[in-house]
Amino acid sequence: SMNPDLASERQTASFSVEKLTALLDGGTEQMRIRRAVVEAIESDPVFSRENQYFQTQNERYEAAVRKAVHLQKKMHEMGWTENGPEYKYIYRALSGDVAFLLHRVFMRSISVLGSDKQIAKWIPLATQHKLIGSYAQTELGHGTYLQGLETTAVFDTATQEFILNTPKISAMKWWPGDMGRSATHTVVFAQLYVHGKCYGIHPFIVQIRSLQDHSLCPGITAGDIGPKMNFEHIDNGYLLLKNVRIPRENMLSKFCEVRPDGTYVRQGSQKINYFTMTTVRISLISDEVLTPLMKACTIAIRYSVVRRQSKLKPGEQEAKILDYQTQQEKLLPQLAAAYAFHFINDYLQELFNRGYREIQRKNFDMLPELHALSSGFKAVITQHCTAGVEICLRACGGHGYSLLSGLPSLYTKILASCIYEGENTILLLQTARFLIKCFMAASAGQPVPPSVTYLAAVKHGKCPAKNKLDFLSPDIYTEAYQHVAVRLTSSTAAKLQDLIESGVKKHDAWNQCTVQLVQAAKAHCHYIAVKNFAETVEKLETKAGIQKIMKHLCDLFALHGIFSNTGAFLHDGYTSAAQMDMVTASYLDLLAVIRKDAVPLVDAFDFTDKSLNSALGSYDGQVYQRLYEWAQKSPTNQMSPAYERYLKPLLHNTLSKL
Amino acid sequence: SMNPDLASERQTASFSVEKLTALLDGGTEQMRIRRAVVEAIESDPVFSRENQYFQTQNERYEAAVRKAVHLQKKMHEMGWTENGPEYKYIYRALSGDVAFLLHRVFMRSISVLGSDKQIAKWIPLATQHKLIGSYAQTELGHGTYLQGLETTAVFDTATQEFILNTPKISAMKWWPGDMGRSATHTVVFAQLYVHGKCYGIHPFIVQIRSLQDHSLCPGITAGDIGPKMNFEHIDNGYLLLKNVRIPRENMLSKFCEVRPDGTYVRQGSQKINYFTMTTVRISLISDEVLTPLMKACTIAIRYSVVRRQSKLKPGEQEAKILDYQTQQEKLLPQLAAAYAFHFINDYLQELFNRGYREIQRKNFDMLPELHALSSGFKAVITQHCTAGVEICLRACGGHGYSLLSGLPSLYTKILASCIYEGENTILLLQTARFLIKCFMAASAGQPVPPSVTYLAAVKHGKCPAKNKLDFLSPDIYTEAYQHVAVRLTSSTAAKLQDLIESGVKKHDAWNQCTVQLVQAAKAHCHYIAVKNFAETVEKLETKAGIQKIMKHLCDLFALHGIFSNTGAFLHDGYTSAAQMDMVTASYLDLLAVIRKDAVPLVDAFDFTDKSLNSALGSYDGQVYQRLYEWAQKSPTNQMSPAYERYLKPLLHNTLSKL
């Protein structure tokens, strides 16, 4: 039976939930396929995540391997293929709780970096799981700065082998997934030496465990790096190499080759490889970042309409906590952000598809822009969504803190996205470097890529808004965002210039501007996200109330950004204090408007109870019953030796006296 | 051997680390006692936390009980008493990783709420651990709003007993520590009914488990609520009561009593009890909030001078990451906040001691102010420190994400402080209510408590700073903070007034102002924290460089607050854009200055390696060696059944072919 407090929220939806779900899925056919995959996965008990919150790291790992192996069988049964339309929904349906993800990276790296001969040899083996691959790049002492990797691969002309070594402890490979316990092979990145000369970092296929009995190969020390904040199901590993010899053919040689005599040869353009790296940053946004935020919003918003606490009006029933303005102010901007980033993700995907087509035609012009966008948006979206999930968790009070709410795991997992695939601050500085370069070019009248042409058009006007309703005009707020992005970029460019002109060395000057450069990069991405949301809304069909509610969310996303960062807009007087008060008024009004549709808006994300795996977020809203039933199954309700060992002797001291 | 990159940081300290430690401890004698306690605890293997990151929830609970029982013995051995000077250091030395904390709350509630006769009966039993107590207030459906609790206690005149019941699932007690598995008794808060009339919430002592065999008493259902984000060592429990009968004498009756005939009698003033609740909020700041932030700063800052990544200057060695401005901007404001909050904690402790003396003289005048300050600062400090710990974690990149860094556990634990002892938003609104009331009173020329007299003196001036050095003047920035606090309070009071005058009902008007009321409460606390830091620095001895470095930290704390929230200062033109640029310049300059003393400043917190329990934060800075050695001990490096069960059949399919 559905909790009546939740049921009543659904009766008043201003739009068709089913239509909005289809819009998010990219069409009704996509929606149908996704639901079929979810149904097939969730009805299979092997994929159950029900006991997940009670399991140890060892149990999680074992379950993830079991699922990965079972998935092969399942795909065969269902007729799903890696190139089929179902594939992209599988990982989402599993909530990522499966092993051998790095096996896929192993395969991708061979496909991209290997010669045709290498691809022909290794890809079929990997596809059929005749080996388990990993990807060993990061070292204890090196993550971001790849050139600093210390593992060595020395070519021995006599035996036609590379000899791989970990020269010191900081050179030990550290973090690679699937490597701690599962992998038999890995791609090792190492400094290549031939005849005593270093040629920089290159990739080598190295076998690390026996295919016979899984024992470590000679010269290999490897294991699991131990407990982490999340990712208990993944065996992130370490690897130490001592005079490990591999044949010359194991250096991935699409772009660089060492000939038998030791001659080093470069061939072809690596730019396509570079492009692959940038697309990975975009591809993770949907599954690893947006889905967790959407789940967190679903859980927190459903809970906030069944949780009643304190009274809004004296003498009345206790109020739903979502009726408090402060609760709306916590949750609804996260909901708006989830939609905003869903649409910017569509935009980026489309842009990258276009880029890919251009690159295949040997046109690399789009690369710098794509790199800047993928870096900036990876950083901005992971940061924003991580903070959003944390807000959802805290907004659920004590029950949010229980693992059974599902929120702690969502948070501890999404947090990692701020660190992997490029640490966020480093990435924002990549974007900033592009912005500064383009700003200088634009100022000098040179052409710049489409996403930054606005930098050329520096205007010194004022925001034209006259009353609070004007701030519901996308032109008004988009222009304000644009103005801030231009101001931050131009003022930082000026500071940089001034420092250099005053005699500060270029790299020192850059370092002294980095805090402000990060601000500029964020402002650029925020502007593009707002603009894209507004343009998307413009194009939506007006039927079924979809456009109207999306317009509200777009307004909220934009005004929340201004309200949370008023200084950026007030600084040079573009927005006046009186206008800022209008922003605040419109923003607070919007909260009350969107609150009415809050539950339908999260229902549209279409998560099943199994995929939420949350006692607070279920579709029927029976929160307290579910918490109680679930808690009773916890291993902490088994007998503990603590009683016999410690409590009994303590209490028995003087039992008779009570 | 000490990592030379860390050693070099210590050689250039501008002040005496030992003197600063003594200052933080409140004197050299206090420092000596603290160190002696730490030494005694850490040299005892029973208290070891070395395996903590590898343990299951069940193992953590058992260890916490073992430690709690052993602690009794230890205290006896060492001659430590609950009233002795060592006592306050014990919990800190144990890092809170011990059971029976709620047993102490059980005792305190009896001492405060019980009659002399009840105290005489129960306190000796509890002191000698002849029973284990808990404190059952929160229910599944009720936390913040105590009046809404649903558990009932009906007086039965015939048997002279109270009959306790859990009328529905939302009335189940949920969360009480020590109750899930350990407690034999608890204080249950329930709605008192006599002759069918409800007298509201009252406390009752209820036995829940047999002292003979620890089985649940008749009518009791109880157990553990299962996994949480942290606090694995605590058995937070649930409790369901079904016609549980307790003698009339078990209602705690210092303030209210039910006579044998059912007559309900109120006696004495409960105000002292109310005062106790507010002091708890202050007392948790030091151990539960400041210590974790100080530990996180120690770990992250030490790591940031031994971690080298990428190059600041081309051709040079890779740079210490703390030399990057962006890394300084992440960590150093957290360090400054740790000091700022240490000093405000001293201030609050002193204020509360004074309040206690007044209250004992039956003068309750200070109560509203103390309530407002304890609520506001509890919220502001827990929020700020939680965010600070998260920043420290993220600033350590991948290694910060390993449990072995110590940072994830610090974060997941401190996060709870934002929720318990009053949810932060609710608390800030309590402070805001006080501010509005005082502002109205002050505007009407009535007297107001000392901490809010500034609200009466609304000035419409401008910030007088003329260059960036002016912003290193405490008068300049303290006045700016004061101006913002007054502006936010007065403008929200005006909005509230306007709404009510326009016909909006009072409670609706209040709700529509809550987002802004929260801002006003934060601004008030921030102002007091800045003012107090500046006044503390003023009074420090100028010797040994202490005052100078504390002045830098005070400046940084103040300017970071302005830099992060520029809109509040720019809004009405009190600070101009040109002045804001000066703030930014001074702020960034300060980062470079304080960076030089960063390691000595965390060394002064004087945490031992055992208390940090971190592979990244050790005193000698041997990060990579420690991570490697520690990881090898992880249970995830034992043989997993996953190989035999899943991997072997998979790989053996076609072994011969490779």
What does the pLDDT look like over A495-529, one tens digit per residue? 999 999 999 999 999 999 999 999 999 999 999 99
- What is the mean pLDDT of the segment spanning B406-435? 97
Q: How many CB pairs below 8 A link A and B?
A: 372
Torsion of CA B627, B628, B630, B632, to 10 degrees: 150
- Taking the CA of residue A152 and the nearest CA in chain B, the distance in Å comes to 18
Q: Which chain B residue has its CA at the smallest distance from A171's CA?
A: B624
Would you put residue B315 in left (φ > 0), alpha (ψ -120 to 50) or beta? left
Which positions in chain A touch B588 (Cβ < 8 Å)?
512, 515
* Residue A192: pLDDT band with limits 50, 70, 90: very high
Residues in chain B: 658
Query: What's the confidence (pLDDT) of residue B273?
Result: 79
* Residue A590: pLDDT band with limits 50, 70, 90: very high
Cβ <8 Å between B224 and A634: yes
- Taking the CA of residue B227 and the nearest CA in chain A, the distance in Å comes to 6
- What is the mean pLDDT of the segment spanning B270-293? 89
B421 has catalytic annotation: yes
Looking at B233-301, which runs of residues are DSSP E strands? 237-241, 244-247, 256-258, 264-266
Query: What's the confidence (pLDDT) of residue A500?
Result: 98
Query: What's the confidence (pLDDT) of residue A517?
Result: 98
Q: Which of B9, B161, B369, B421 is catalytic?
A: B421
Query: What's the confidence (pLDDT) of residue A274?
Result: 79
Query: What's the confidence (pLDDT) of residue B654?
Result: 55
Query: What's the confidence (pLDDT) of residue B19?
Result: 96
- CB of B214 less than 8 A from some CB of A: yes
Contacts of B80 (CB under 8 A, 6+ apart): B37, B74, B86, B87, B90
Which positions in chain B touch A613 (Cβ < 8 Å)?
none
Cβ <8 Å between A635 and B65: no
Which positions in chain A touch B416 (Cβ < 8 Å)?
401
Query: What's the confidence (pLDDT) of residue B658?
Result: 46
Q: Shortest CA distance to B145 belongs to which of A337, A311, A334, A471?
A: A311
Which positions in chain B touch A511 (Cβ < 8 Å)?
312, 323-325
Contacts of A188 (CB under 8 A, 6+ apart): A136, A151, A153, A164, A173, A203, A204, A205, A206, A239, A241
Mean confidence (pLDDT) of chain A:
96
For the entire predicted model, the pTM comes to 0.98
For tokens 């005079």, name the residue. Answer: A243
Rg (CA), chain A: 28
Cβ <8 Å between B228 and A627: no
Among the partner residues B58, B318, B658, nearest to A635 by beta-carbon distance = B58
* Residue A320: pLDDT band with limits 50, 70, 90: very high
- Taking the CA of residue B130 and the nearest CA in chain A, the distance in Å comes to 5
Q: Judge whether B75 and B153 are in contact, CB under 8 Å.
A: no
Query: What's the confidence (pLDDT) of residue B278?
Result: 86
Query: What's the confidence (pLDDT) of residue A656?
Result: 45
Pairwise pLDDT comparison (B279 vs B347), residue with the higher score:
B347
A262-285: per-residue pLDDT in tens? 999 998 888 887 788 788 899 999
B138 is in an annotated binding site: yes
Among the partner residues B56, B404, B625, nearest to A56 by beta-carbon distance = B56
What whole-number distance in Å separates Cα of residue B336 and Cα of residue B596? 14
Is residue B347 scored above 90 in pLDDT? yes
Pairwise pLDDT comparison (B56 vs B541), residue with the higher score:
B56
Percent of chain A residues topping a pLDDT of 90: 93
Is the dihedral angle over the CA atoms A491, A492, A497, A499 positive or is it negative? positive
Task: Please name each of the domains of chain B with its CATH number.
Answer: 1-99 (1.10.540.10), 130-267 (2.40.110.10), 429-449+467-597 (1.20.140.10)
Pairwise pLDDT comparison (A143 vs B595), residue with the higher score:
B595
Q: Judge whether A627 and A615 are in contact, CB under 8 Å.
A: yes
Which positions in chain B touch A143 (Cβ < 8 Å)?
309, 397-398
Query: What's the confidence (pLDDT) of residue A577?
Result: 96
- What is the mean pLDDT of the segment spanning B496-508? 97
- CB of B588 less than 8 A from some CB of A: yes
Query: What's the confidence (pLDDT) of residue A20?
Result: 97
Query: What's the confidence (pLDDT) of residue B101?
Result: 94
Q: Judge whether A565 and A36 are in contact, CB under 8 Å.
A: no
- CB of B622 less than 8 A from some CB of A: no
For the ranges A279-283, B489-493, B619-623, the lowest mean pLDDT is seen at: A279-283
Q: What angle do CA A61, A66, A71 make, to 5 degrees?
A: 125
- CB of A211 less than 8 A from some CB of B: yes
Q: Which chain A residue has its CA at the smallest distance from B506's CA?
A: A313
Beta bridge partners of B162: B155, B246
For the ranges A389-403, A406-420, B140-154, B269-283, the lowest mean pLDDT is seen at: B269-283
Query: What's the confidence (pLDDT) of residue A190?
Result: 98
Beta bridge partners of A237: A224
Q: Which of A384, A401, A514, A656 to mutate to test the interface with B (most CBs of B within 10 A)?
A: A401
Residues annotated in a binding site of A: 138, 177
Q: For residue B326, count other CB atoms closer than 10 A to its CB.
A: 18
- CB of A647 less than 8 A from some CB of B: yes
What whole-number distance in Å separates Cα of residue B228 and Cα of residue B413? 10
Is residue A657 scored above 60 in pLDDT? no
For tokens 């407690």, name the residue. Answer: B183
At residue A254, what is the residue type?
K
Percent of chain A residues topping a pLDDT of 70: 99
What whole-number distance in Å separates Cα of residue A604 and Cα of residue A606? 5
Q: Which of A229, A487, A502, A518 to mutate to test the interface with B (most CBs of B within 10 A)?
A: A229
Contacts of A581 (CB under 8 A, 6+ apart): none
Query: What's the confidence (pLDDT) of residue B656?
Result: 45
What whole-number distance in Å separates Cα of residue A161 and Cα of residue A158? 8
CB < 8 Å from A in window 71-100 of B: none
Q: Judge whether A474 and A527 are in contact, CB under 8 Å.
A: no
- CB of A312 less than 8 A from some CB of B: yes
- CB of B57 less than 8 A from some CB of A: yes
B449-484: per-residue pLDDT in tens? 999 999 987 677 899 999 999 999 999 999 999 999
Contacts of A630 (CB under 8 A, 6+ apart): A404, A615, B226
A79-128: per-residue pLDDT in tens? 999 889 999 999 999 999 999 999 999 999 999 999 999 999 999 999 98
Tokens of residue B526, six digits: 């921030």
Pairwise pLDDT comparison (A571 vs B656), residue with the higher score:
A571
Q: What is the 3-state secondary structure (H, E, C) of A374-419?
A: HHHHHHHHHHHHHHHHHHHHHHCHHHHHEHHHCHHHHHHHHHHHHC
- What is the mean pLDDT of the segment spanning A336-345? 98
B66-108: per-residue pLDDT in tens? 999 999 999 999 999 988 999 999 999 999 999 999 999 999 9
Which positions in chain A touch B65 (Cβ < 8 Å)?
642, 646-647
Distances (CA, A) of A277 to A109, A258, B353: 10, 24, 60
ipTM beyond cut 0.95: yes
Q: For residue A656, count other CB atoms closer than 10 A to its CB.
A: 7
Cβ <8 Å between A636 and B402: no
Distances (CA, A) of A18 to A15, A31, A367, A596, A598: 9, 10, 38, 17, 15
Query: What's the confidence (pLDDT) of residue A273?
Result: 79
CB < 8 Å from A in window 439-468 of B: none
At residue A564, what is the residue type?
S
- Taking the CA of residue B646 and the nearest CA in chain A, the distance in Å comes to 6
Q: Which of A421, A423, A479, A541 is catalytic?
A: A421
Q: What is the 3-state secondary structure (H, E, C) of B118-145?
A: HHHHHHHHHHCCCCCCCEECCECCECCC
